[in-house]
């Protein structure tokens, strides 16, 4: 059940011009309320913004006296700009835990596929999943592949493949090509867990479907209330129904999603 929690900014680190690593002292959101990576917090970004901003959780930790939660976000507009200007000691009005998680209850081998700012929500799955896993991480260019993030996958996954759109680091091309190569060699993945921009999710879902590998995707949509009341963040399903990123998601079964809507 979500609560309203006042969090204190513990640290702010700028990773590049638009990307921030923010650590929050988050009460007992992790230890008592079960917050984990891949879920999101709905954060009030100053009095000038009416709408809260949903920010994915990258890393969570039980701590004393307060749990620590890491958010890795990009400045995309006024709200995230305000968020990036917070200083240690500042407080934030946060709703959470919100959203579901990837289903990793099945024993087996998992394939994590992240793109851009969709990589951080997979960190905990890369580091802590109890099953063996492989990671495919895609970025627009090499300078966006921050070692403080990619190393966490490299240290804990069986294999970690980096791809860049411009070929400046790792494989030249999109993640779905790398996923295809992996599945051609090895179809026995229990599931693909994917997080990133919608076109990437769509192409990964297509490859997964071709190889009959179950695929879960974490979707982004503009949100209102963040808790399922306002029905704003609609994600159309193949069966003609609407689900909502905040309450039914952000993680959906790729087979359910209407990718052509």
Partner 1 sequence: MHEERSFEPETIVGHAGNGCSSEQLFPAPESPDTSHVDLSVDLAGVPLKNPVVVASGTFGFGREYGQFYDLSELGAICCKGLTLHPRQGNPAPRIAETPMGILNSVGLQNPGVDGFIAHELPLLQRSDVKVIANISGDTPEEYGVMCERLSAAGVDMIEVNISCPNVKAGGMAYGTRPELAAEVTKMAKSHATVPVMVKLSPNVTDITEIARAVADAGADALSLINTLRGMRIDVSSRRPILKMNVGGLSGPAVLPIAVRMVWEVACAVKLPILGMGGVSTGEDAAQLMLAGASAVAVGTALFADPYAPLKVRDGLAAIAVQQDLSAVNMLTGGIRPW
Q: Which residues bind partner 1 (CB under 8 A)?
A: 1-4, 44, 49-52, 79, 93, 95, 221-236, 240-242, 247, 261
Closest distance to partner 1 from the beta carbon of 198 (Å)? 11
In terms of CB distance, is 28 or 156 closer to partner 1? Answer: 28
Give the whole-angstrom CA distance, residue 183 versus residue 52.
39
Residue 12 or 232 having the CB closest to partner 1 = 232
d(CA 241, CA 189) in angstroms, rounded, equals: 29
Task: Name the residue nearer to partner 1 (CB basis): 5 or 160.
Answer: 5
Quote the least distance from Cβ 231 to partner 1, whole Å. 5
Residue 46 CB, nearest approach to partner 1 (Å): 10
Nearest CB to partner 1, comparing residues 6 and 159:
6
The string of DSSP codes covering 147-213 is HHHHHHHHHHSSEEEEEETTSSSSEES-HHHHHHHHHHH----SEEEEES-HHHHHHHHHHHHHTT-
Q: How far is the CB of 147 from partner 1 (least distance, A)?
A: 31
Considering beta carbons, is residue 11 or 85 the nearer one to partner 1?
A: 85
State how far the Cα of 243 lies from the Cα of 246, in Å rounded to an integer: 9
Please report how close the Cβ of residue 94 comes to partner 1 at its closest, in angstroms.
Answer: 12
Q: Hey, what are 118's tokens?
A: 């969709």
3-state secondary structure 168-182: CCCEECCHHHHHHHH
């Amino acid at each position: 059940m979500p609560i309203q929690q006042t969090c204190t900014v513990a640290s702010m680190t700028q990773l590049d011009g638009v990307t921030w690593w923010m650590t929050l002292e988050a009460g007992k959101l992790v230890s008592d309320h079960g917050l984990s990576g891949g879920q999101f917090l709905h954060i009030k970004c100053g009095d000038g913004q009416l709408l809260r901003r949903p920010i994915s959780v990258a890393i969570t930790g039980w701590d004393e006296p307060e749990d620590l939660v890491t958010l890795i976000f990009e400045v995309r507009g006024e709200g995230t700009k305000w968020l990036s200007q917070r200083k240690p000691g500042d407080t934030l009005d946060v709703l959470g835990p919100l959203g579901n998680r990837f289903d990793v209850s099945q024993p087996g081998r998992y394939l994590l596929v992240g793109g851009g700012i969709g990589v951080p929500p997979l960190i905990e799955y890369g580091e802590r999943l109890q099953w063996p896993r492989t990671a495919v991480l895609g970025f627009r260019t090499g300078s966006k592949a921050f070692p403080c993030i990619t190393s966490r996958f490299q240290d804990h996954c069986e294999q970690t493949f980096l791809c860049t759109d411009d070929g400046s680091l790792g494989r030249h091309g999109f993640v779905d090509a790398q996923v295809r190569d992996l599945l051609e060699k090895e179809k026995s993945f229990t599931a693909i867990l994917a997080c990133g921009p919608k076109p990437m999710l769509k192409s990964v879902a297509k490859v997964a479907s071709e190889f009959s590998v179950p695929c879960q995707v974490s979707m982004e949509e503009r949100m209102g209330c963040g808790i399922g009341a306002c029905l704003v963040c609609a994600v159309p399903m193949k069966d003609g129904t609407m689900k909502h990123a905040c309450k039914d998601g952000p993680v959906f079964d790729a087979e359910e999603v209407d990718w052509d809507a």
